[in-house]
Amino acid sequence: MDVMGKTVLLTGGSAGIGREIARQLQAKGAAVILTGRDPARLAAMRAEGFEVLAADLSNAAGVDALVEALGDRSVDILINNAGQLIEHDFRKGAPDADAADEGIYANLTAPIRLITALVPRLRDRPQAAIVNVTSGLAIAPAARQPVYCATKAGLRFYTLALREQLKRTSVKVIEALPPVVDTQMNDGNPMKKMPAEECARQIIEAIERGRDEANIGMTRTLRIVESMAPSLARRMTLRF
């Protein structure tokens, strides 16, 4: 798909991987509508020439408000990038159940609800795409992030099933599986981190080339290990 001239709705586009996706798509001639929650970050992206929509995707009202703000505009590409990293580690004390609920909604339910709302208009476009950003941890989990891993695994399987449902339509369904990326979300993570710019570049390349999956960086290695020895892949990630 040639992204030039395409209208893109990008959630979580004011920081991290999303911000780099927005900038690179804009440089290629796409019109990017991005969402976020932080007013200062949204103002900074607006100053770069982006259309921005404030959206809290941790609840149904926030998703519905975003759809309402879009009005009846056509969308060619939906990128579900927004996500929350949820602390849920009993080794450190009792986890916050409310935080888990919000994270589950933001990471899994919100993309499903947004896709449900936008598939009709995506199917009306001659070429369209849905990109769900999951994680290498959707393949094999890390012990300290069980809720995050569960939501990303859930979104991965939703994506696989959705691709089958839409395979005879104009909508390409793509899953992007980043490794650990150098973003605010991963501050304090001692693992080697991929630059956000490179992660974004590979996600956009997957859109342009019409790939089903973008296994990025170390996720590519993890996928190979998991295909041959699933228990070894789990041992590799569970220690983190």
The top-level CATH class assigned to 7-238 is: alpha beta
Find tokens 């099933």 and name the residue: 161
Indicate the helix (H) or strand (E) that contains 123.
helix 110-123
**Across the beta sheet with 128-133, what order do the strands follow?**
51-54, 31-36, 7-10, 77-80, 128-133, 171-177, 213-215
Q: What is the mean pLDDT of residues 16-37?
A: 97
State the chain's mean pLDDT as an integer.
Answer: 94
How far is 50 from 46, CA to CA, in rounded Å?
A: 5
- pLDDT, one tens digit per residue, over 73-130 is 999 999 999 999 988 999 999 999 999 999 999 999 999 999 999 999 999 999 999 9
- pLDDT of amino acid 63: 97
178 neighbors 136 (Cβ within 8 angstroms): yes
Is pLDDT of 186 > 60? no
57 neighbors 106 (Cβ within 8 angstroms): yes
178 neighbors 20 (Cβ within 8 angstroms): no
Domain extents for the chain?
7-238
Q: What are the structure tokens assigned to 11, written together?
A: 């959630």
- pLDDT, one tens digit per residue, over 39-86 is 999 999 999 999 999 999 999 999 999 999 999 999 999 999 999 998
177 neighbors 219 (Cβ within 8 angstroms): yes
Q: What is the mean pLDDT of residues 178-191?
A: 68
Model confidence band, residue 239 (pLDDT cutoffs 50, 70, 90): confident
User: Which positions are annotated as active-site residues?
Assistant: 148
